[in-house]
Amino acid sequence: MRRVVQLYKSTIGKKIMMALTGVILVGFVLGHMIGNLKAFQGAEKIDAYGEFLREMGSPIFGHGQVLWLVRIVLIVAFIVHVIAALQLTRVGQKARREKYAKSLEYEASTYASRTMRYGGVFLLVFVVYHLLHMTTGTMHPDFQIGGIYHNLQVAFGSVVVAGFYLVAMAALGFHLFHGVWSGFQTLGLNHPRYNRYRRPLAVGVAVVIALGFVAIPISFLAGILS
């Protein structure tokens, strides 16, 4: 533990923690996206899937126990990821107080890499809204516990709500595009033979996850799901 704390003190250590927690978060969004696609199999299947998530681990674990374990891992990963990001942002800002008068010509960095910090804050806002919307139902106009299909149907009946989900998923796509590639660098996973697959993999992860998620709100808007 002392070593981990020591490592975390350095800027590289903070990035390594962001990469490790990022792997957890990417795993989660991938699983979540695939799970959501059950909506295309109808209300029964997706509602049953929600029930399965709560019953996961039974009979060894009780109702919701494994789900809570997973939630705790995700919450901790999310918090570490965000705090390290904020700390590194501050270090970076302090490292260049005086700006260039003729701003730097960007040649290698991408729109995605330069918006990680803003995009990350936006995703944080989205996650809070999304939990209040779809998990607790606090911000949902007609929330039914366990009635996942119904909750989606009502939510995405609103163009504004669906639109917000679309924008958030675009932001997620950009975040993943840089995040996945950056993660390889940060974890030192480079090898001359495989390096050329890193960018395409990052594009693939970003596109598949973003498209998989937006399929649901778009389908409700387009009347494919109703």
Residue burial 75-100, b: 16+ Cβ < 10 Å; e: rest: eebbebbbebbeebeeeeeeeeeeee
Residue burial 104-121, b: 16+ Cβ < 10 Å; e: rest: eeeeeeeebeeebeebbe
Centroid of chain to Cα 199: 19
Stretch that binds ligand HEM, among 3-11, 104-112, 114-122, 131-139 (CB under 6 A): 131-139
With CB under 5 to 8 Å by kind, the binding choice for 213 among other proteins, ligand HEM, none is ligand HEM
Stretch that binds ligand HEM, among 1-9, 113-121, 126-134, 192-200 (CB under 6 A): 126-134
| 182 three-class SS | helix
* Residue 191, token pair as written in the block: 């090898």
With CB under 5 to 8 Å by kind, the binding choice for 109 among other proteins, ligand HEM, none is other proteins
Taking a C-beta distance cutoff of 8 angstroms, is the pair 18, 186 a contact? yes
**Site map (CB under 8 A) of other proteins, residues 45-74, x = contact:** ------------------------------
Q: Which is nearer to ligand HEM, 151 or 186 (CB)?
A: 151
Q: How far is the CB of 141 from ligand HEM (least distance, A)?
A: 15
Stretch that binds other proteins, among 159-167, 184-192, 200-208, 209-217 (CB under 8 A): 184-192
